[in-house]
Amino acid sequence: MVLVTYREGHERNVALSVWGAVAAGGAAVGVLLGGILTQYLDWRWIFFVNVPVGIGVIITARRILDRHESEIDHNNLDLPGAILGTGGMIMLVYALVKAPTLGWTAHSTVLYFAISAAALAGFIINEQRAKHPLVPLEIFKIRNLAGANMLQLFMTAGMFSVFFFTTLYLQEVLGYTPVKTGFSFLIIPIIIAITATNMPRLVQKIGYKPILSVSPLFVSGGLFWLSHIPVAGTFWGNVAPGMMLMAFGMGATFVSVTIAVTSGVPHHESGLASGILNTSQQVGGAMGLAVLSGIATSASARYITNLHLHGAPAHNVIAAATVQGFHDGYLIASTFGLAASLIAILVIRNQPAVVDPAAMAGA
């Protein structure tokens, strides 16, 4: 909505920074509410609570939002494309989740990957032939859009592991309650909000390419820091520094990549470009978490297998094995940030910003 409401340039960049800050505020409320619901009710409530919120958003949106011209022109649902694309990605993630347990060469694993490949191939063929495709493939010819989506895919593939592994570390190893864990995560949305609100000014001065080339390195550095967490660690000494590095990189990246993905895209297709970017974020997060959790589980199992107990307490052995799994998961995740930075350097082009003189005068 932000992208289709505000045209490319200073005004849109400011709107995106506000959107980023509000999203970070929502994340802050979410982690706290999630901890409270888990501790005092049941973890299933973190899903139930979204139902009335979603219904309220739909009702409010239908009442106050005007239909956009691109929404009117593309009013037909590409149902085959939606089914093939969604089914193919679900099966791919499922295959990645099950492969470490079943074995990568097991017949069932190969079958899952084959079904995923067939569905995604069908999706591409359908999009090429559909009158109103869900995702017009021609849009990927826009260099910055393709590069921004690849960058986002790698960024979220590494980033989502932090929320998963760190939650387990704080609760299972350090003994934090769900509420205390929620408070611990507040540091991330706070830093993201501060960083996001300052990005438009920096983008206006140097463009988004330098930012996107450097900001993933902060995420990578934060993940590398977390790959050294000890069994007997502390939050402020061992976890918070990595979180802060990551949060700064995330805040700088997410606003800048949203600006980059719509650079050079026709205004009436900016909503589509944003939707594709959001899809890359969710797909990257799901695939990354599936792969990294498998790596962590395998590393923990190897650690236990190779460990000579010598009478060590079982709890200590399990905790050490769990942390070893986190080490491997975080370390691999840190390489995703390096890949994202390389994509920005090689693919993203720093196109001149389209500046609205009236908007600049009023800023």
- Output the six-digit token pair for 70: 């691109």
In tens, the pLDDT along 34-80 reads 878 888 888 788 888 888 888 988 888 787 766 555 554 555 678 88
**Residues 135 and 274: beta-carbon distance below 8 Å:** no
Q: What span, in angstroms and rounded, lies between the C-alpha atoms of 20 and 16? A: 6
In tens, the pLDDT along 225-280 reads 999 999 989 999 999 999 999 999 998 998 888 888 887 777 777 778 888 888 88
Which pLDDT belongs to residue 312?
Answer: 55
- What is the CB neighbour count within 10 angstroms for residue 101? 11
- Output the six-digit token pair for 267: 């205004």
User: How many CA within 13 A on the CB side of residue 191?
Assistant: 20
End-to-end CA distance of the chain: give it in Å, rounded. 21
Q: What is the DSSP letter of 7?
A: -
Q: What span, in angstroms and rounded, lies between the C-alpha atoms of 229 and 240? A: 11
In tens, the pLDDT along 145-159 reads 999 999 999 999 988
Question: In the chain, helix, strand, coil percent, each to 5?
Answer: 80, 0, 20
Q: What span, in angstroms and rounded, lies between the C-alpha atoms of 210 and 103? A: 41
Is the pLDDT confidence value at 9 over 70?
Answer: no
Is the pLDDT confidence value at 30 over 50?
Answer: yes
pTM of the model: 0.82
Is the pLDDT confidence value at 6 over 70?
Answer: no
